[in-house]
Structure 1
Amino acid sequence: MRPRGWRDATVRDREVYEFWRCDDPRGSRLVGSSWNHAVTMADGFYKWACDPRRKYADENPIEQRPSRRRTGESGRRRRKGGETGETAADKRPNARRKKVVWLTPEQYRTWRDVGIRGYLPSGVKDQAFRGKRTARNAAYSDLMVRTGLRLEEQSALTLFELPDHDGLSAYYRFWLPEEIAKGGSCRDIYIPDGGLRSVVDYVEIDRAGAVARAQAAGRYEAVEDKLLIEPGTDLVRVGDEWHQVADLDAEERLRLFTRTEHGLEPAALWLAEDGMPLTLHAWKWVFREASRRCRRLGVKIHCHPHALRHSFAVVTLEQLQRAHLESLAQMEAAQRRHYRMIWGDPLDWVRIRLGHASLETTQQYLHTLRELEMQTRLLLVPDLWEHPDRQYLEEMAKAVEAEECRTIEDAWNEDSFLAEEWA
Structure 2
Amino acid sequence: MSTPTLVMWRLGRSSPEEESLDDVAAVALAARERDVGMAPGQPFLLRPDGAADTDVLAFFTSSSFKMLSEQTQSSYAKDLRIFLSFLESQGRSWKGARSSDLLDFEHWRRRDPNNEHRVSGAKFSREFAACKKFFGWQHKRGVIPRDPAGDDIGPPGSTGSHSLRPRDARPVRVKWLTPRAFRQWRDVGLGGRLIDGTVDSSWRGRNDGRNAAFANLLWSSGLRLREAGTLLVRELPSPNTDAQFLRARLGNGVAKGRGRDFWMSAAARSQLEAYFVSTRAEAVSRARRSGVYEDLPGRQVVVGQNRSGLHLVNAKGQSRTISVDQLDWRERSNLFVQEEGGIAPAMLFLGDSGLPMHYESWEAVFATANRRCTQLGVPVTCYPHMLRHSFALRMLVTMLHAFDRRMGLTPDERRDYRMLFGDPWTLVQTLLGHTNPQTTRDIYLEPISGLQVDLFLNAEESTQAEQEFTDFVQRHLAATGLVNDGGGGP
TM-score normalized by the length of structure 2: 0.61
- The alpha-carbon deviation at position 97 of structure 1 amounts to 3.4
Give the aligned partner of residue 186 of structure 2. 112
CA contact (8 A) 2:244 2:265 kept: yes
CA contact (8 A) 1:318 1:369 kept: no
Give the aligned partner of residue 129 of structure 1. 203
**d(CA) in 1 for partners of 2:408, 2:310:** 51
- The alpha-carbon deviation at position 336 of structure 1 amounts to 2.5
- The alpha-carbon deviation at position 37 of structure 1 amounts to 4.9
CA contact (8 A) 2:189 2:369 kept: yes
Pairwise mapping of residues 9-88 of structure 1 onto structure 2 (< 5 A)?
10=56, 13=94, 16=97, 20=101, 23-24=104-105, 27-29=108-110, 31-38=120-127
Partner SS for 2:234: coil
- The alpha-carbon deviation at position 371 of structure 1 amounts to 7.3
Q: Which has the larger radius of gyration?
A: 1
Counterpart pick for 2:321 among 242, 251, 259? 242
Give the aligned partner of residue 265 of structure 1. 344
User: Measured at CA, do residues 118 and 336 of structure 1 come closer, stay the same or move farther in structure 2, by a change above 3 Å?
Assistant: same
Identity of matched residues, %: 34
Partner SS for 2:257: helix
**d(CA) in 2 for partners of 1:108, 1:245:** 33
Q: Establish whether residue 219 from structure 1 lines up as the match of residue 295 from structure 2.
A: no
Partner SS for 2:368: helix
Which residue identity lines up with residue 194 of structure 2 in the other structure? L
Q: Establish whether residue 300 from structure 1 lines up as the match of residue 379 from structure 2.
A: yes
Pairwise mapping of residues 212-361 of structure 1 onto structure 2 (< 5 A)?
212-231=285-304, 235-237=310-312, 241-326=320-405, 330-333=409-412, 335-361=413-439
User: Measured at CA, do residues 212 and 347 of structure 1 come closer, stay the same or move farther in structure 2, by a change above 3 Å?
Assistant: same
Counterpart pick for 1:152 among 203, 206, 226? 226
Partner SS for 2:352: coil
Partner SS for 2:369: helix
CA contact (8 A) 2:389 2:445 kept: no
- The alpha-carbon deviation at position 280 of structure 1 amounts to 2.6
- The alpha-carbon deviation at position 36 of structure 1 amounts to 4.6
TM-score normalized by the length of structure 1: 0.70
**d(CA) in 2 for partners of 1:215, 1:42:** 48
**d(CA) in 2 for partners of 1:129, 1:90:** 55
Q: Deviations over 1:14-61 (max 9, x none)?
A: 994996465557633455421355579999xxxxxxxxxxxxxxxx95
CA contact (8 A) 1:227 1:236 kept: no
User: Measured at CA, do residues 359 and 16 of structure 1 come closer, stay the same or move farther in structure 2, by a change above 3 Å?
Assistant: farther
**d(CA) in 1 for partners of 2:193, 2:474:** 31
**d(CA) in 2 for partners of 1:291, 1:352:** 31
User: Measured at CA, do residues 61 and 375 of structure 1 come closer, stay the same or move farther in structure 2, by a change above 3 Å?
Assistant: closer
CA contact (8 A) 2:304 2:311 kept: no
Moved over 6 A (4+): 39-43, 89-92
Q: Establish whether residue 191 from structure 1 lines up as the match of residue 264 from structure 2.
A: yes
CA contact (8 A) 1:39 1:90 kept: no
Deviates more, 1:293-302 or 1:97-106: 97-106
Q: Deviations over 1:332-368 (max 9, x none)?
A: 42x2321112221111111111111212211134431
Give the aligned partner of residue 399 of structure 1. none
Aligned length: 335
